[in-house]
């Protein structure tokens, strides 16, 4: 399934023109037909024909504008009709499946989380995805015909062309046929991407990366990944694995990572690494207010470390600082290679504020070239926990408004 015809044909060019006009209305509406023709350099009859089709399909709507001079006829202006069509976005991780609905303006109007408690089989995981989508349709009383597409942001290595999760490490699953499964079930086009690249796309449309030509988005959670934007385009690499910053080596003598290598950034700076350092310190006899918490019946989480650090717990403070130092080193290397204008950080770990950000910025300042943007270029995402699901929706919006583009 595809959103647009092949661009080599007349129908393909017509669709490209249609998307260009829709994108112009999205960005600059209310806007007149005459202004659209002027800005797109399409002929007025071509614009008129396409606008008529978009009006008939209820993608856009007309409203009366104001005359530029007294006595002039009030122009008919065009705006996006954002309430008739919707996009379903899904973020698939090993802990939670987040499902959202956005309108054509990218506004999230529904969100629901489904926890993934046990490591599912491929069939069980696909069943959960289908149930999340069906529940979303049922709870919002939506018809299939009102859904433009389904976007999926999936953790791990992803083949976005064929819609396959090549390797989902935290689920220990390989070659999951997500696109074909969901399209067969719902007869709705499905677009898919790695979760952090989807987040990066959302940052470029709605977040800290909007109107920034070169930036890097780094997400820290159970794992660590990044998205790279160069000249307004996301860099995927030949094997769709660009941005695997979590598996760059920051210390050859470091601990073993789940990928099998030693000294990966993920083994030092992920949430799991921060927790493991504190637990190891307690086992070795370090004093900590968290010592009473370390037992098999208690589920540890990163907020416990934050609370202890805020109370001055030295072990918790040291663990956060070490995580920040190694993150700062990896970010400094990225900055020296790509010289981005901005580095955007996403993840619960950054809720620790300066406890984690100060060592990051100190290391970046110490390790980057003088011609680089430096630590002031580092900012935290404002998209919140739903950023990756928003990115999943943006995959569909990008295809609708910018076929073939970023």
- pLDDT bin (cut points 50, 70, 90) of residue 331 is very high
Q: Which domains can be identified in the chain, with CATH numbers?
A: 10-80 (1.10.10.10), 86-202+387-401 (3.30.420.40), 210-382 (3.30.420.40)
Residue among 110, 93, 129 nearest 222 (CA): 93
User: How does pLDDT run across 83-125, given as a tens digit for each residue?
Assistant: 889 999 999 988 899 999 999 988 999 999 999 878 899 999 9
DSSP 8-state symbol, 257? P
Pairing verdict, β 215-220 and 342-346: parallel
**pLDDT over 50 at 163, yes or no:** yes
Token pair of 271, please?
């949430």
For the segment 393-401, the average pLDDT, to the nearest whole number, is 93
More confident residue, 255 or 73: 255
Using alpha carbons, list the distances in angstroms from residue 355 to 127, 352, 389: 41, 6, 28
Rg (CA), the chain: 24
Alpha-carbon gap, residue 244 to 29, rounded angstroms:
39
* 72 Cα distance to chain centroid: 47
Give percent of the chain with pLDDT exceeding 70: 92
Token pair of 380, please?
């935290």
State residue 32 phi and psi, 5-degree precision.
-90, 165
Render 39-102 in DSSP notation, one character per residue: HH---HHHHHHHHHHHHHTTSEEEEE---SSTTPPPPEEEEE-TTS-EEEEEEE-SSEEEEEEE
Using alpha carbons, list the distances in angstroms from residue 26 to 14, 17, 94, 306: 18, 14, 35, 42
At what angle are helices 44-56 and 33-40 packed, to 10 degrees? 120
Expressed in angstroms, the distance from the first to the final Cα of the chain is 20
Q: Nearest 5°: CA angle at 344, between 338 and 350?
A: 135
Whether the link from the prior residue into 166 is cis, omega within 30° of 0, is no
Alpha-carbon gap, residue 22 to 35, rounded angstroms:
13
Alpha-carbon gap, residue 264 to 254, rounded angstroms:
7
- pLDDT bin (cut points 50, 70, 90) of residue 385 is confident
State residue 116 phi and psi, 5-degree precision.
-110, 95
**pLDDT over 90 at 296, yes or no:** no
Output the pLDDT for position 292. 79
In this structure, of 38-42, 299-303, 388-392, the range with the lowest mean pLDDT score is 299-303
User: How does pLDDT run across 50-66, given as a tens digit for each residue?
Assistant: 999 999 888 889 987 66
More confident residue, 20 or 258: 20
Residue-averaged pLDDT of the chain:
88
Report, in this order, helix, strand and coil percent for the chain, each rounded to 5: 45, 20, 35
Alpha-carbon gap, residue 382 to 19, rounded angstroms:
28
For the segment 191-201, the average pLDDT, to the nearest whole number, is 95
* 196 Cα distance to chain centroid: 5
């Amino acid at each position: 399934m595809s959103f647009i015809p092949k661009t080599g044909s007349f129908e393909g060019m017509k669709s490209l023109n249609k998307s260009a006009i829709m994108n112009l209305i999205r960005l600059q509406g209310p806007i007149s037909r005459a202004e659209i023709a002027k800005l797109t350099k399409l002929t007025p009859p071509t614009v008129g024909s396409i606008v008529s089709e978009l009006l008939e399909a209820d993608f856009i709507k007309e409203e009366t504008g104001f005359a530029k001079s007294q006595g002039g006829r009030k122009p008919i202006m065009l705006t996006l009709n954002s309430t008739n069509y919707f996009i379903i976005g899904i973020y698939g991780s090993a802990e939670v499946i987040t499902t959202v609905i956005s309108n054509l303006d990218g506004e999230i109007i529904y969100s629901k989380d489904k926890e993934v408690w046990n490591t599912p089989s491929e069939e069980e995981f696909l069943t959960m995805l289908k149930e999340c989508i069906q529940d979303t349709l049922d709870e919002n009383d939506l018809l299939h015909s009102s859904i433009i597409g389904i976007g999926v942001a999936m953790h791990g290595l992803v083949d976005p062309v064929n819609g396959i999760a090549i390797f989902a490490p935290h689920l220990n699953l390989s070659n999951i046929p997500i696109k074909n499964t969901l399209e067969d079930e719902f007869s709705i086009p499905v677009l898919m991407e790695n979760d952090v690249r989807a987040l990066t796309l959302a940052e470029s449309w709605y977040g800290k990366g909007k109107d920034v030509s070169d930036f890097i988005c780094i997400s820290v959670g159970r794992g660590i990944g990044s998205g790279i934007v160069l000249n307004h385009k996301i860099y995927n690499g030949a094997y769709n694995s660009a941005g695997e910053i979590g598996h760059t080596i920051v210390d050859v003598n470091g601990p073993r990572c789940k990928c099998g290598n030693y000294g990966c950034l993920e083994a030092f700076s992920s949430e799991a690494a921060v927790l493991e350092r504190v637990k190891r310190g307690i086992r070795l006899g370090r004093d900590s207010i968290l010592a009473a918490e370390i037992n098999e019946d208690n589920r540890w989480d990163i907020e416990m470390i934050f609370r202890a650090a805020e109370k001055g717990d030295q072990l918790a403070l040291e663990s956060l600082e070490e995580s920040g130092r190694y993150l700062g080193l990896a970010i400094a290397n990225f900055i020296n290679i790509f010289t981005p204008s901005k580095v955007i950080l996403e993840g619960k770990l950054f809720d620790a504020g300066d406890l984690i950000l100060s060592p990051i910025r100190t290391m970046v300042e110490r390790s980057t070239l003088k011609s680089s943007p430096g630590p002031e270029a580092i900012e935290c995402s404002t998209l919140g926990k739903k950023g990756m699901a928003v990115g999943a929706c943006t995959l569909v919006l990008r295809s609708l408004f910018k076929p073939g583009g970023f």
